């Protein structure tokens, strides 16, 4: 498998696209996942939100899911929060403009023990949601447990288990790094899993169009 490799760097954020050597998926769980989720031509941008590090992963679903882009957006801690949010907003906008996803799937913020961290992550989520909506993308949110259940089969999966299942489901020859990117890809895979088989997805699309 080959797809574009590109790196773009600004003073406050880094985006990277890369390819990984692929090999056939193995294991019955991966096979069942692929069979039950053949939703053709859907392109999902998954986001693992954060102000310091915001992971993203773009997955296209054809006969099997394929990762087309993955990486991490970063903002420097020495900048004030407003400037960091502005930088993140600009990078999210550029990412959506370049990738043109159909859907942006965001991991929902849950309880954080550190109030400062919770506020920063919540504000980052707001930036992602606003930019996605402004770009005309469908926007969905999933809890961490929903992502784990969809990708690994149970809500107690740890990061290593999620990373391994992402590797298997995408047929990669190695684990996807960094972890923020793997988590974002898992969010995208969660949305594809939730869409169900093609017939059901098509019926939902027709119903949504009729309701407008």
At 108, which helix (H) or strand (E)? none
Answer whether residue 83 shows pLDDT above 60: yes
**Cβ-proximal residues to 118 (8 Å cutoff; 6+ apart), any chain:** 109, 111, 112
Domains of the chain listed by start with CATH number: 6-211 (3.30.420.10)
Please, what is the average pLDDT of the chain?
78
| Cα–Cα distances in angstroms (integers) from residue 167 to residues 66, 67, 179, 182, in the given order | 11, 10, 12, 9
Query: In the annotation, is 78 catalytic?
Result: no
pLDDT score for 72: 97
At 88, which helix (H) or strand (E)? helix 81-99
> Among the listed ranges 32-46, 64-78, 95-109, which one has the minimum average pLDDT value?
32-46
pLDDT score for 179: 93
pTM of the entire predicted model: 0.76
Query: In the annotation, is 48 catalytic?
Result: yes
Out of 48, 91, 131, 141, the active site residue is: 48
Residue 59, strand partner residues: 44, 67
pLDDT score for 40: 55
Out of 87, 91, 141, 180, the active site residue is: 180
Task: Look at residue 95 and give its three-state secondary structure.
Answer: helix
Out of 91, 107, 141, 146, the active site residue is: 107
202 versus 187: which is more confidently predicted? 187
Query: In the annotation, is 80 catalytic?
Result: no
pLDDT score for 113: 73
Is residue 159 within 8 A of residue 176, CB to CB? The reply is no
> Among the listed ranges 46-60, 109-123, 143-157, which one has the minimum average pLDDT value?
109-123
| CB under 8 A, 24+ apart: contacts of 77-86 | 77/52, 79/12, 81/51, 81/120, 81/123, 83/12, 84/12, 84/51, 85/51, 85/123, 85/124, 85/127
pLDDT digits (tens, 9 = 90+) for 8-61: 333 333 444 333 333 333 333 333 344 334 445 789 999 999 999 999 999 998
37 secondary structure, DSSP code: T
Strands 138-142 and 103-107, sheet pairing: parallel
Phi first, then psi: what are they for 129, rounded to 5°? -65, -45
pLDDT digits (tens, 9 = 90+) for 166-195: 999 999 989 999 999 999 999 999 999 988
pLDDT score for 117: 83
Q: What percent of the chain has pLDDT over 70?
A: 72
In angstroms, the CA 122 to CA 119 distance is 5
Distance of CA 189 to the CA centre of its chain: 7
Could you tell me the two tokens for 106? 């965001």
Q: What is the CA radius of gyration of the chain?
A: 17
């Amino acid at each position: 498998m080959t797809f574009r490799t590109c790196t773009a760097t600004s003073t406050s954020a880094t985006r990277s696209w890369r390819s990984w050597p692929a090999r056939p998926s193995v294991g019955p769980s991966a096979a069942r996942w692929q069979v039950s989720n053949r939703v053709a031509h859907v392109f999902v941008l998954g986001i693992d939100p954060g102000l310091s590090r915001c992971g993203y992963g773009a997955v296209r679903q054809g006969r099997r899911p394929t990762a087309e882009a993955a990486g991490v957006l970063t903002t420097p801690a020495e900048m004030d929060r407003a400037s960091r949010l502005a930088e993140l907003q600009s990078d999210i906008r550029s990412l959506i403009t370049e990738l043109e996803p159909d859907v942006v799937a965001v991991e929902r913020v849950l309880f954080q023990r550190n109030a400062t961290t919770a506020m920063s992550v919540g504000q980052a989520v707001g930036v992602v949601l606003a930019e996605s909506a402004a770009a005309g993308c469908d926007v969905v949110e999933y809890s961490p447990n929903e992502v784990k259940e969809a990708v690994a089969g149970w809500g107690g999966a740890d990061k290593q288990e999620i990373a391994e299942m992402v590797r298997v489901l995408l047929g990669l020859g190695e684990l996807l790094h960094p972890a923020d990117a793997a988590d974002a890809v898992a969010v995208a895979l969660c949305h594809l899993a939730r869409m169900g088989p093609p017939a059901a997805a098509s019926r939902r699309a027709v119903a949504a169009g009729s309701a407008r």
